[in-house]
Amino acid sequence: MVLAAFVAACVPALVLADVFSLSNLEWTLKNQNGSIVIPATIPSQAHLDLVKAGIITEPLLGINDFTERWVVNDNWTYTADLTPFTRSLESDGSQKTLLVFYGLDTIANITVAGHPVAWVDNQFQQYVYDVSDLLASPLHRDNNVTVAFESAWYYGMNASSRPDAEYSPTGDFEYAGVRQFIRKTQSDFGWDWGPAFVPSGIFKPAYLVTLSESSSHSISSAPASHPLLASESGGIFIEESSLEISKVGQTPISTPDQNADWLVNVTLAVRSAIAGEHPTVTISIPELHVTSKPLPVPSIAVSTKSPTFVSASFTIPDSIPERWFTHDLGTPKLYNFTVTLALSSGESAQTASFTTRSGFRTIQLVQTPYSQEDIETRGITPGDQWHFVINGNTFYTKGTNIIPFDPFYARMTSGQVRWIIESAVKSGQNMLRVWGGGIYQPSDELTGVYDFYSACDELGILAWSEMIFSDATYPVDSWLLDSIDPEVRQNLRRINKHPSNAQWAGGNEIEGIVITINQTLANGTHYLDEFVELFGDFLHDITFQEESSVAYTDCSTTSGVLSLDPYVIRFDNKTPGFIYGNSERYNYDASQAFNYSTYPVSRFVNEFGFHSMPSFYSWEEVLLSPEDFSFNSTVVSSRDHHPPAGSLAWPNPNAPQGQGQMTMAVEAWLPTPNTTDSNQTFAQWCWSTQLFQSMNMVSEIAWYRRGAGLGENNLGALVWQLNDIWQGVSWSSVEYSGRWKVLNYGMSNIYTPVVIYPFWTPDNQTLEVLVTSDRWEPVSGTAQLTWYDWAGTALESSTHHFTVPSLNNSVIFQGQGLDTILPVGYDATEVWLLLNLTAKVDGETVAHEQYFTPVSLAESNIVEPSVTVTHAEDLTFKVSAQTGVAPWTWLDHPSGTVGYFVDVSTGSPLNGFYLVPGIERTVEFVPNQALSKVSNPDPGDFVIRSIWNNTHL
């Protein structure tokens, strides 16, 4: 900003406007008693600055989540001298200065030039203050901006100990019993997949914006030099902007008319140093050669103390724009929208102009009852629908859930987040659920550190958005609602422009909690009533006041509604034999992992998962001693938070239960890792937990997709979870470093448009093979079923032709009794079945592959496969088995690399496959060079393994 200061000295004050990033100031951080005073930066959080200063080491190392708890117990103050900014201000006071914070974490007092500005208590709000008068009259020569943070933990204990504080009958994680009183990332206080660091700091960008009155000087109509300042020539700051595209007449609960005109609505929150008696808004879409006429909006007074809200809209014929679709259903088409606010008419009009990107789509969450015709002609089980419709087309939702990307938000980058989203897209997903215990995901780097929603728009993946309430009862005290109201409105308005946004849910899993409380506690009705007040009324009404194009649901997992207008939640008001709402499934009894009778029969399953270890490579990032590299070492076990401790007890006293669940799963379904090399044994244990996780989730996904053609008409499956927050035990499919677990390759297989899958019911020895399609048109193709022995000899094969209706399945094989299913003369431990299909989809030939073993691989008589691998400098690897089948052949890329493996013949992700003698596989490692610390890995450092290596070097 040296250039900005130079410009300030040369340009007449009356046309001066600028944006000064507070990141350019020299900041200090100190604790409450002043024993620690260190340089700091923003955006940042106290832990990160303490690491840079050498006071603490990286919080994710070793047991630092325990040893660095002292940071949480202190208060931390950020201070910077404003002289580099104030020396550029005009002495005549003609300029107005706004202090803009896009995120403060969380409880803080703000002072400027010695004057108190505000006390804040909401991490999810943005704050804007006119500090012009304060800068003009500093107290005691104080020229600082200071943000003094209070420990959120201590604040929470104080708030929860008030006589009028409501007791919550729900359990918790580490820092227990306080988070429902604090508008802060709920998982900051601990969760069953991550640490509890309770960070604090100026965690998002902050700015000083100068505005000036208009004058006789020339007025520019060009967009501002800085995107946050909409007025190049001086007087207008757009504090908030909302761009929403819907169909004329559309509401969040109605079926949009696909032939109706598009309605483009813009809302601006304006702070202006210039009055506008007859302002107008103009909206243009250059790619479409469409520009609205100047649209009149209410007058705008001179006001830099608070914003003036104005709205304008115009229509575009349906036929003009191309529609935005998810990547798997069409093209995620985006357009540039230029919005111009003119404060008056004439050549000297003061204008503010900015450009943003959005797309044209309708997205509907259908929750109305199935018709009698559906019940009679389609065999649908009575009840309500619960699925999404894009641009008038019902589709199958395939995806995962996301959690915060890092314990310390401020250090995330768009590149890291984009890789996570790309990993979802590459694995065939079309929706990500933004979990309600984390944070409202950002739209850009300038205001949010990194980009999330814009990347989803571009990559063509929907985002199910949630407000930040999770797994607790929340009091409805007026002071809390007063903080929640602007929080929710600001985030709704910001996210409106994103075509990727699919719906808003009030929170995560709370509806089921209050149903249970209502059934079990004498005063349970009180908590149910409060839930209705907050999630059924308050948040519902705010949502529909701010947007009209996406649905609102009270909770992630819900029993559905009795009525949409008025909004009445169903709760336990259910008719036996009917299906309502959506569901989730967690079963940690590994013996039931593939028991289909334990899977929910549901319209939509929005959470299901099983935990696994990160890879050996991830453990290398954080384990500090050789003895730590063991499945049940103290440090490894300390990073298993399932079930949670429920207190600050460390290491988690409940970890043996979670460790045992993974152990029993591997022992039941895979050869138990045990070799003479302790590191290999540990590595195989880590990988084997991932392999079981993938096998389990693939089985569930296949079952739920099958349900699209059954009475439940299941049209959605979202796995818990996509990303990791640290190197520890979790449900993720992508590790903290960006490394794909086995599950992400498993999803890339089972989320392909047309799949073949063997459904085996051991109780009656029934095998049913189905082909399932999620395409909008019938799909025809050929399936091949081939039995092999473990030496790799093909025993018998059959070919099956199929045609699958839209969003449906076809049975291609049914058999009962091992005597009739298995090749003659072979025992169930001696053989396995390879299932292949080829089909025409969208004019292209696609293939899919699955495997079936009639008994667990722990019982199968696998033989030494003698796997060989040859590699080239372009990171292609040709693998083959010489003497036997290698189940779940897996390639690992070396430490410091990020990327994924693809089948060179198809370009699709491929890893974790059955390698059969005589059938070579060639895969290529495609690196993400921007994230990889090793840019040119040695092909010799890649590792190949299979379950044979669980017990053999």
Residues identified as active-site: 509
Q: Decide: 474 and 180 in contact? Cβ < 8 Å.
A: yes
Report d(CA 427, CA 483) in Å as an integer. 39
Q: Decide: 739 and 731 in contact? Cβ < 8 Å.
A: no
DSSP string over 497-544: T-TTEEEEES-BSHHHHHHHHHHHSTTHHHHHHHHIIIIIIIHHHHHH
Q: Which of left, alpha, beta for 545 (phi over 0: left; psi -120 to 50: alpha)? A: alpha
691-702 exposure pattern, b = at least 16 Cβ within 10 A, e = fewer: bbbbbbbbbbbb
CA 10, 16, 22, 23 torsion: positive or negative?
A: negative
Report d(CA 712, CA 807) in Å as an integer. 13
Cβ neighbours of residue 436 under 8 Å, at least 6 residues apart?
A: 186, 466, 467, 468, 469, 470, 505, 506, 507, 508, 556
- Alpha carbon separation from 511 to 172, 535, 776 (Å, rounded): 17, 9, 34
Cβ-in-10-Å burial (0-12, 13-18, 19+) of 104 comes to buried
The terminus-to-terminus CA distance of the chain in angstroms comes to 59
Length of the chain in terms of residues written? 953
Amino acid, single-letter form, for residue 681:
T
Sheet with 127-130: list strands edge to edge. 18-21, 206-212, 95-101, 127-130
Q: Residue 788 is encoded by which pair of tokens?
A: 């092999």
Report d(CA 629, CA 57) in Å as an integer. 20
Report d(CA 882, CA 862) in Å as an integer. 13
Report d(CA 109, CA 294) in Å as an integer. 43
Report d(CA 232, CA 340) in Å as an integer. 12
Question: How many H helices and E strands in the chain?
Answer: 20, 45
